[in-house]
Structure 1
Amino acid sequence: MDFQTAVKTCFSKYADFKGRASRSEYWWFVLAEVIVLIVASLIHEYVYFIAALGFLLPVLAVGARRLHDIGKSGWLQLLMLIPIVNLVLIYFYVQPSQPEANPHGAPAA
């Protein structure tokens, strides 16, 4: 999946916490978020706040779908709230997809 397709997919599945998201879909979307937030922070703090709110739900949704892709629960994203322990999430996010279907559906394209 390329950058543009990943961003379109994640915004079209804005609040879809079901299904699976490939590694490339997740990381391309995270890159887009980082770029937008950096540019927004250079403009004004209110623009940054609005951009961060706009990305909040899609980032949580794609994160949950990414965890589903490796056979984990989306609720593991709550580890973000615990400093240092949230590094476990990065480990999960970089894991390869399960090639077979799991309880969350067929592998992402």
Structure 2
Amino acid sequence: MTSMSFADAARICLTAKYATFSGRARRAEYWWFSVVYMIAAVVVAGICLAAGSVLPGILLLLFIVPMLSVSVRRLHDTGRSGWRMLIALIPVAGPILYLVGMTVDSVPATNEYGPSPKAVGQPVG
């Protein structure tokens, strides 16, 4: 089993699996890409404030598709449908339930969404 780094997660989510909603994603891939997304959001917000325009905010649209796809793949890794992401829309409790669902460990064996990305011999990416 190979560990996933910040750079691996960014590379996978922004290139190889940019809009891949099938398959599975390890916890590390999801959380590291979440960090990438948050950094991008802070940088773009700073640019918007400095420029006095919301136009640079359009740059964040480039990150929405990979964030959604890694979220769906993460839910698949826990044996849940990607549609379960919609639970976050429930006021107050929804976002909490969503985050708890993202912290659950992977289903160790192959499930209906594919083989475990943590399996020995599976390359990162």
**TM class, shorter-chain normalised?**
over 0.9
Shift of 1:86: 2.3
Tell me which of 32, 37, 56 is aligned to 2:36: 32
Report the RMSD for the aligned CA atoms in angstroms.
1.0
What's 2:111 paired with? 102
Tell me which of 48, 53, 77 is aligned to 2:85: 77
Which protein is bigger by CA-based radius of gyration?
2
Bigger drift between 73-82 and 25-34 goes to: 73-82
Shift of 1:22: 0.2
Structure 1 residue ranges (4+ consecutive) displaced by more than 3 angstroms after TM superposition? none
Cα shift readout 1:18-64 (whole Å, capped 9, x = no counterpart) = 000000000000000100110111011322x2232111111110000
Paired-residue identity, %: 40
Tell me which of 3, 7, 11 is aligned to 2:10: 7
Structure 2 stretches lacking a partner, 5+ long: 49-53, 119-125
TM-score (norm 1): 0.93
Counterpart-to-counterpart distance in 2, 1:100 and 1:67? 15
The residue type paired with residue 27 of structure 1 is: W
Tell me which of 11, 20, 38 is aligned to 1:16: 20
Number of paired residues?
108
Tell me which of 63, 78, 95 is aligned to 2:71: 63
TM-score (norm 2): 0.82
